[in-house]
Each structure stands twice: as C-alpha cells, then as structure tokens.
Amino acid sequence: MRNSSFFLAALLSITGVTSQSSPNPIRFVYPNNVTGTLNATVALVPIPFSLARSIIPAKYGILTKAYESLLPGFPKDKYPLLVKGNLDHDVGLGSFILDDFQSLHIEYPFIDLLGDGYSCFLYAHHQFLTATAPLVIGGAAVYGTTVIPASFDPALEAYAYVKSSSGRKKEEIYFDTYTNSSTCPAVTMKFTPTSEHGWPFEYFMNVTNQPFFSNGSKCDNQRFYYNTTLSTGVNAPVGVKGEVTIEAPYLQATKSSDFGDIYGFKVDAAFVENNLLDCESLKGYSWNGNGKE
Ligand SMILES: *[C@@H]1O[C@H](CO)[C@@H](O)[C@H](O)[C@H]1NC(C)=O
Ligand SMILES: *[C@@H]1O[C@H](CO)[C@@H](O)[C@H](O)[C@H]1NC(C)=O
Ligand SMILES: *[C@@H]1O[C@H](CO)[C@@H](O)[C@H](O)[C@H]1NC(C)=O
Ligand SMILES: *[C@@H]1O[C@H](CO)[C@@H](O)[C@H](O)[C@H]1NC(C)=O
Ligand SMILES: *[C@@H]1O[C@H](CO)[C@@H](O)[C@H](O)[C@H]1NC(C)=O
Ligand SMILES: *[C@@H]1O[C@H](CO)[C@@H](O)[C@H](O)[C@H]1NC(C)=O
C-alpha cells in the first residue's frame, strides 16, 4: 500500500480478510495517517558489490561508509542486500482496513539518491505483491517500481512452520514467492531461530526506515515503530539463520542465486506510511523507530 488515493478507492472494497497477526496498535494514535503492521522476516543477504553496482542505477552513489559503520567487519567486496518476506496486516486509515496482503521485497539500502553523501535511501527494483490486490499493486507502481503480481506460500500468513516427520511443528519457518508464470518459487526463504550472533537488530531498524524510491520521482516514507507491543516483550524480534534463493532475473539476469548462512530476524512492527513525498524533503532524514525522534 503505497498511495493514499488508491487507498481511499480501496475503502470501497472492504471485505475484512484477516490472519493470525496481532492488530495494529497505532491506528487510533495516528487516525489521519495510513498505518498498518508488517509481520516479516528480514534478512541481510551479502551479494557481490559488483552485482549490486550493476543493478543500482549508475547515477546513484552507494554510501559504503554508512553500512560499514553499522556492520563492523562486513566484507569489502560485498554489499548488504535487504530481502523481506512480509504480511501486511490491518493496513488502514482511521476505522477503515484493507484486506491483508503479502509482499516480498528485494531492496538496495544506503543509496545516495540526493548526491549529498549522507542521506540514505532504499532503492526498490523488483517488488512482488499479492496478485489479487490490484489497488496495492497500483499504489506501488506510482513509484515506477517493477511490480510482479505474485502468490505466496503460506497464503496470508507472515510465514509457516515446517512440520517434522512426526507431524509436530518445528522451529523452522518458510516463506515462498510464486509468480503466475511458474510452478517453482521465484524466491524462497527458509529460516531457523538461532542464538548465534548475526547482524545486530539495530542494523535492520536503520535500513527498514530508510525512505523508499524506485525511479526517483517520488519517495515513500514508511516509518516502522519498533517500540510497540508488536515488537517488544513476548513479541521481541527473534534472530534467525537460513537460506534464501532468488531465481533469474530478479537478482542475476540469467542465473539462480542461492545463499546459505544468511542472518536476519523475524519481527512484527507497526508503521505509519507517508506516500508520494518529495525526495528532497527527506534530506538528512534519520529515524530508526526506537521511540526517539
Ligand atoms: C506473525 O505471524 C506469525 C505467522 O503467522 C504468527 O505466528 C505471529 O503470531 C505473528 N506475530 C504477531 C506479533 O502477531
Ligand atoms: C501524518 O501525516 C501528516 C500529513 O501528511 C504528516 O505531516 C505527519 O508527519 C504524519 N505523521 C507521522 C507520524 O508520520
Ligand atoms: C516514475 O514512475 C511514475 C509512475 O509510472 C511516472 O509517473 C513518473 O513519470 C516516472 N518518473 C520518471 C523520472 O521516470
Ligand atoms: C500474469 O502476470 C502478468 C503481469 O505480470 C499479467 O499480465 C497476466 O495477465 C497474468 N496471467 C495470469 C494467468 O494471471
Ligand atoms: C542509518 O545509519 C547511518 C550510518 O550510521 C546513519 O547515517 C543514518 O542516519 C541511519 N539512519 C537511520 C534511519 O537510523
Ligand atoms: C514509540 O515511539 C514514538 C515515536 O517516538 C512515540 O511517540 C511513542 O510514544 C513510543 N511508544 C512507546 C510505547 O514507547
């Protein structure tokens, strides 16, 4: 959901499909803004820097020092791609709610969109969105993003648990993305909770709050609040380790890309979304949703 006018149109088509995810705790805190919840698995996928450079439009610099400062020891020849498998739940304005939908985002953080050498933006190249949510797809397309209508397994949940041979739920979770042209997933994510030291959660608070752009005409500022009951206490983020596969052409043009030993978090968070902003207005923007402005 990236556009208020599409959103307003969507208000006419409410049917109230809903999932296991917890309700949006901030709807009535910001009754005049689009708010929602994103129940997600977020992962840092190290890809060759040269591959990132070939995908991110050449006119934009990459703020290497910014991510190196947040990820000490990050390999020099790599770039931290952000992959997010999401359930958008309870997205609405005031008392109006959209049907739940899902998305898989392949995003390039730390882009110097404004050429000032410090303002970090997130470049969205491909975005997979629930094919049966045309208003949501239209809302993303206004940014010039390549939107790929998709379906997801599990349907309308943030992830599903892998069953063990005994039929019991295992800790392992998965989230698979299918395009309508294939019976094989275009993107798969499979993760298990880990106590290993992956990337710090603060890193993900930072990158998920970088304003989003695609062709650069307008920016979307989706502010994630990591201080609500959705992301704290029993719902605190859980570190995960696992595998991500991205089929061609969504990362490499002609080859499938398989990544192992990928670290991330499963986390649910409330958000406020401010659409179609002038990107210049976000110069120097810094917000990581920890309760401090
Ligand atoms: C996030 O989604 C998972 C999978 O559906 C669910 O088990 C979990 O309770 C959700 N998290 C919250 C905080 O609602
Ligand atoms: C809510 O929307 C208004 C008007 O677009 C904007 O000025 C304000 O910053 C938004 N609030 C939040 C918390 O993002
Ligand atoms: C970006 O995409 C939007 C939506 O398709 C379009 O209106 C706008 O003109 C595009 N801007 C550029 C610079 O291509
Ligand atoms: C598959 O998706 C394309 C757009 O990516 C769309 O034009 C086409 O109608 C879809 N086909 C089916 C069978 O849903
Ligand atoms: C993310 O980290 C960079 C580098 O430390 C910093 O410049 C930027 O302000 C941070 N952004 C957010 C949203 O916290
Ligand atoms: C969370 O952060 C926001 C923004 O700084 C603040 O307005 C709100 O009071 C905080 N909520 C909690 C529960 O601390």
283: CA distance to ligand 5 center in Å?
Answer: 12
Task: Tell me how far apart the alpha carbons of residues 52 and 50 are, in angstroms, rounded to a whole number.
Answer: 5
From the list 89, 79, 3, the residue with the least C-alpha distance to 40 is 89
Tens digit of each residue's pLDDT (9 = 90 or more) over 112-145: 999 999 999 999 988 999 999 988 999 899 999 9
Of the pLDDT bands very low, low, confident and very high (cuts 50, 70, 90), residue 11 is very low
* Cβ count near 9 (within 10 Å): 13
Q: Is 193 in the pocket of ligand 3 (CB under 6 A)?
A: no
Tens digit of each residue's pLDDT (9 = 90 or more) over 213-254: 999 999 999 999 999 999 999 999 999 999 999 999 999 999
Q: For residue 182, which ligand has an atom nearest its CA?
A: 4
Mean pLDDT confidence for 163-167: 84
Q: Is 144 in the pocket of ligand 3 (CB under 6 A)?
A: yes
Task: Tell me how far apart the alpha carbons of residues 254 and 278 are, in angstroms, rounded to a whole number.
Answer: 35
Pocket test for ligand 1, best of 24, 39, 229 (most atoms within 8 A of CB): 39
The per-residue pLDDT of the chain, averaged, comes to 92
Determine the pLDDT at residue 94. Answer: 76
Q: Is 274 in the pocket of ligand 2 (CB under 6 A)?
A: yes
- Which residues, in sequence order, are CB contacts of 129 under 8 Å at separation 6+? 101, 102, 103, 136, 137, 140, 147, 148, 149, 150
78: CA distance to ligand 6 center in Å?
Answer: 35
> The tokens of 185 are what?
């997933």
Q: For residue 237, which ligand has an atom nearest its CA?
A: 1
Residue 10 has pLDDT above 80, yes or no: no
Q: Quick one: what percent of the chain has pLDDT higher than 90?
A: 81
Paired sense of beta strands 257-277 and 34-48, if any: antiparallel
pTM for the complete prediction?
0.91
291: CA distance to ligand 6 center in Å?
Answer: 4
